[in-house]
Amino acid sequence: MVLSDVTGQPISATDTSTEMIYELRTYTVLPGKMAALLKRFREHAIRLLEKHGMTNVLYLTPEGEEKDTKLIYLLMHESKQAAEKNWAAFKNDAEWQSIFAETEANGALVEKIESLYLTPTEFSNLPGLVQRRNKAISVKFLDEFFNKKNFAVAEQFLTEDYKQHNPGVVTGRQGLIEFATEFLKANPELTMEVKRVMAEGDYVFLHVHLKFNPADRGAAVADIYRIENGKIAEHWDVMQPIPETAANDNTMF
């Protein structure tokens, strides 16, 4: 199951990692070529990097004597494997190949390129990182727990004092496990497909299509999770059955 968040960035429920990977790239720029290199990034490369799944985070030049000799920038990827795939697509892009040839017609701009992949620490607070991590945690938990019926992940994903606001479920981790065990025993073909994911602060909102079996119209579910230190600490939900007929043709998703 692959979906997109509200920024258009893909989130994979099958990816076992909830972390992004960062790539620190350092360009050693040839004498007199910095202006041309910055122009190429500004007008072309940044857009094409985004086109091929890479997120531009930060671009820097050093202070002092080295300011015209180094360009340092940070990219964000879904994973190391995604980074390799993204770069291959970028380098094979016909538009990029044309731009590269045109901008280096009078000689190369860069002497050397260095790349270092980095994993953020749990206390990092880069823009959007916490929300990104929280969304991945929420999607992964729902898929593992309800779709794959892997109740053992409750300890990994839920806090010890997990608080449940659904009035039909006993609060706490064990209460959810007991509810899900009986509920899924009665509905063995149940599936939950995440349609949308949004995050604000410590809260994650999931818009979910729940179906009791393949032929079922199902229901639209709104799940709200509060994340605390990398685990789900609190849960709210509401469910609206999908009717046979509707007053409009917009669907519930």
Neighbours of 144 (CB within 10 A): 20
pLDDT at 5: 44
pLDDT at 132 exceeding the cut of 90: no
pLDDT at 4 exceeding the cut of 50: no
> 28: which 2 tokens?
């050693």
Of 11-15, 29-33, 227-231, the poorest mean pLDDT is in 11-15
pLDDT at 2: 38
Residues carrying CATH 3.10.450.50, the chain: 129-241
- Is residue 22 within 8 A of residue 132, CB to CB? The reply is no
Give 18's pLDDT tier (boundaries 50, 70, 90). Answer: very low
pLDDT digits (tens, 9 = 90+) for 59-114: 999 999 889 999 999 999 988 999 999 999 999 999 999 999 999 999 999 999 99
Give 195's pLDDT tier (boundaries 50, 70, 90). Answer: very high
Residues carrying CATH 3.30.70.100, the chain: 21-118
What is the spatial distance between Cα 133 and Cα 17, in angstroms, rounded to a whole number? 9
What is the spatial distance between Cα 48 and Cα 56, in angstroms, rounded to a whole number? 10
Look at residue 47 and give its three-state secondary structure. helix
pLDDT at 6 exceeding the cut of 50: no
Q: For the domain covering 21-118, report its CATH number.
A: 3.30.70.100
> Taking residues 196-208, what's their average pLDDT?
95
Closest Cα partner for 95 from 48, 165, 52?
A: 48
In this prediction the pTM is 0.62
In CATH, the architecture of 129-241 is Roll (3.10)
